[in-house]
Amino acid sequence: MMGAVTSSFTDESVSILATSDLPSTQGATAEGNPANGSSDTNLTSLVEELRQRIDRLEEEKVALSKSSDDAMDSISDRATADSGDDDDESQPSDIRTDEAFHNDKNSRLDDFFNEGFKWETKNGQFTLNFHNETQLDIRTYAQPNSDPTNQFGFYIPRVRFIFNGILTKPIEYNVSINKGLGNLDLLDAYLNFNYDKRFQFRFGRYRVPFMYDWYALANQFLPTPERSEFALNNGYNRNTAAMLHGELLQGRVDYALAATNGPRNSYFDDNASKDVVAYLNARPFLHCDCLEALHHLNMGGSTAYGYQNQEPLPVSFYTSANASESEGSLKANSTFLRLNSDVIEHGTRSLWEVHLAYYFKSLTLMGAYDSGFNNYGWNDQFGKVHLLTKGYHAQFAYFLTGEEIVRREFVDVKRPFDPLDGDFGLGAWEIQSRFDHFQVGDQVFTDGLADPSFWTNEVNTIDAGLN
């Protein structure tokens, strides 16, 4: 006997055609003919064989259908990944703010990325990224009877919810809220028009370009918990401003020029005069092959000038907090100088800084010298005090576990610790230390701006720690 089975199938159906060459029964009688019994046996065997083949084909259909679905999913994943763009950064490339974003071409429409969540449209023209920053502190002070500062306390200096992304490719946005030792408030809210990275325009509320500490470094990337003393007490912090900024000469130069309201860490101005703030940073050896160790040597400076006529900020000068008069700041931070209650900031403000920053493999070195003048007066009398302010700091940090950086930002951990993923490495560990000096002129006491029996006009601090 010879048999043949032909099959054809799609995702929807299976069809089978069976043919058989059976022995002929012609010339045999129905009764007692051996050929008739043999034919019945062969036919039964053939039917059973066909049934088994049908079962096998049904199994193959199910397997092939599953393979087809998996292949379609794989094609869809590749299409989604290919919709990314190398230029899809949520922040300008020259200055990475609190919202650093690493482009991930494998992100789906709703997915995790390195530092938060990311949602984007399929064409990549609109994105929304979410980040959170939470800082927890235990603060203790050796000096007893330190009222109003608590000698020991638990604090949450920062809880920040940050939303940023793009509104079509050239337009970047950032909105963030913050709750710390003061009120819940709007931290950042701005648009950045990035049609050309050399000439970008930003408008809204953000860290204005005065001081390397403030403009180039988000606080979570600092080696120390807080910025330098001069930055804390004389920096502009966030202001509503219009700024032209960019990156020139293939990344060798960063620049920024802004017109800003002026009052420190403010939402509005008390006068029509606006401050002018300018920043310049150079990496002269960035593309010099013969001096690889100096590729990420940064040097530059910044300046600020404007007319002020408002309540002073700071009133209390702190060693470890931004300018603020919130009750939480008074309780959590050491105060070394406090202006009298009738003092106002009145007249010109002129400040400047020169900075140096060096990054090489696991090493960070940073330093700056700051100086300038603030003008003060009184609510109830005529007069003006042209008050000198100055400071300097030098800072060192080094990753003991071998991570390498080219600027202060998120690091790629060489040996991560993540038991849920089966990683039991050491993580990333960094040692750091900083010396910081800050002072204001003696006129703060001799001209009656503050009481010398309670306060000092000069302070030195040393930070040392392990990150």
Domains of the chain, with CATH numbers?
2-25+35-82 (no CATH), 196-466 (2.40.160.10)
Instruction: With a cut of 90, say whether residue 241 has pLDDT above it.
Output: yes
How many Å from the N-terminal Cα to the C-terminal Cα in the chain? 83
Q: What is residue 191's predicted lDDT score, i.e. its pLDDT?
A: 98
Q: What is the pLDDT of residues 267-282, one digit of tens each?
A: 989 888 999 999 999 9
d(CA 369, CA 352): 9
Maximum average pLDDT range among 185-199, 261-275, 411-425: 185-199
Two structure tokens written together for 148? 């109003």
Give the Cα separation of 139 and 151 in Å (integer).
Answer: 8
Peptide bond into 314 cis (omega under 30): yes
Answer yes or no: is pLDDT of 229 > 80.
Answer: yes
For residue 134, pLDDT beyond 50: yes
Sequence-separated (6 or more) residues with CB below 8 Å from residue 319: 229, 232, 333, 334, 336, 459, 461
CB of 302 closer than 8 Å to CB of 211: yes
Strand runs (DSSP E) across 285-362, as ranges?
297-310, 316-318, 335-338, 343-360
Over residues 51-61, the mean pLDDT reads 79
Q: What pLDDT is attached to residue 67?
A: 63
| Residue 252 half-sphere exposure toward CB, CA atoms < 13 A | 8
Q: Residues 361, 353: contact at Cβ < 8 Å?
A: no
Distances (CA, A) of 351 to 24, 183, 299, 306: 113, 28, 18, 9
Statement: residue 448 has pLDDT above 60: yes
More confident residue, 27 or 384: 384
Q: Note the pLDDT tens digit of each residue in 306-354.
A: 999 999 999 999 998 888 888 888 888 889 999 999 999 999 999 999 9
- For the chain, how big is the Rg over CA atoms in Å? 36
User: In the structure, what pLDDT confidence band is assigned to residue 11 with cuts at 50, 70 and 90?
Assistant: very low
∠ CA 270-216-200, rounded to 5°? 75
pLDDT of 243 above 80: yes
Torsion angle, alpha carbons of 244, 248, 253, 258, to 10:
0
In the beta sheet, which residues pair with residue 132? Answer: 161
Q: What is the pLDDT of residue 12?
A: 36
Other Cβ atoms less than 10 A from the Cβ of 130: the count is 15
**Beta strands per DSSP E along 225-342:** 238-248, 253-260, 275-282, 297-310, 316-318, 335-338
The single-letter code of the amino acid at 443 is: Q
Q: Would the pLDDT of 449 be above 60? A: yes
8 Å CB contact between 456 and 335: no
Residue in the structure block whose two tokens are 């005090």: 385
The residues with which 347 forms a beta bridge, in sequence order, are 308
> 176 has which bridge partners?
162, 188
DSSP string of 179-229, one letter each residue: EESS--EEEEEEEEE-SSTTSEEEEEEEE-SSSHHHHT--GGG-SSSS--H
Residue 427: in which H helix or E strand, if any? none
Count the Cβ atoms, other than its own, within 10 Å of residue 249. 12
Is residue 94 very low, low, confident or very high in pLDDT (cuts 50, 70, 90)?
very low
CA gap 6, 18 in Å, rounded: 7
SS (H, E, C) 69-123: HHHHHHHHHHHHHHCCCCCCCCCCCCCCCCCCCCCCCCCCCEEEECCEEEEECCC
Q: Who's near 385: CB < 8 A, 6+ residues apart?
A: 375, 376, 377, 443, 444, 447, 449
Note whether 364 and 397 are within 8 A (CB): yes
Q: How many CB atoms lie within 10 A of CB 440?
A: 23
On average, the pLDDT of the chain sits at 83
In the 8-state DSSP scheme, what is residue 295? T
Residue 356 has pLDDT above 90, yes or no: yes
User: Please, how many CA atoms are within 13 Å of residue 270, restricted to the half-sphere of its CB?
Assistant: 14
Using CA atoms, how far apart are residues 352 and 211, in angstroms rounded to an integer? 8
Q: Are 367 and 394 in contact (CB under 8 A)?
A: yes
| Span of 17-31, 139-153, 401-415 with lowest mean pLDDT | 17-31
Using CA atoms, how far apart are residues 53 and 435, in angstroms rounded to an integer?
83
Angle 231-233-236 from CA coordinates, rounded to 5°: 65
